[in-house]
Amino acid sequence: NAGVTQTPKFRVLKTGQSMTLLCAQDMNHEYMYWYRQDPGMGLRLIHYSVGEGTTAKGEVPDGYNVSRLKKQNFLLGLESAAPSQTSVYFCASSYEEGAVDGYTFGSGTRLTVV
């Protein structure tokens, strides 16, 4: 049982390049989330999904797109990377009722945009 797996773990992009971060969970969770964490700060919600085929904007959605074509996968895309998007990205998942067991987080993707 792997839990939440994020791919890749590290990436360096040039300004203007695009990339997709993959999040996969094997717990049959309905809800999935993408957060970013900048140095010395808490996590900020980028986008989230309440089920297969659904997505919604979080606190800081600009510059990102997401897709949830399969229940187990949640993709985060950067169409034209900017240095301000240098951050650590965390994916998480939860059951519909988040209070049951809380979130399960992945180990993060460290992205640097130069």
Partner 1 sequence: DAKTTQPTSMDCAEGRAANLPCNHSTISGNEYVYWYRQIHSQGPQYIIHGLKNNETNEMASLIITEDRKSSTLILPHATLRDTAVYYCIVTNDYKLSFGAGTTVTVRA
Residues at the interface with partner 1 (CB under 8 A): 4, 31, 33, 35, 40-45, 48, 50, 58-59, 88, 90, 92, 94, 96-99, 101-108
Place of tokens 């309905």: 30
Are 21 and 89 a contacting pair, CB within 8 Å? yes
- As given in the structure block, the two tokens for residue 90 are 């965390």
Neighbours of 3 (CB within 10 A): 14
Q: How far is the CB of 92 from partner 1 (least distance, A)?
A: 7
Q: Which is nearer to partner 1, 29 or 113 (CB)?
A: 29
Cβ closest to partner 1, residue 17 vs residue 58: 58
Residue with tokens 């640097």: 112
Query: With respect to partner 1, which residue has the nearer C-beta, 49 or 85?
Result: 49
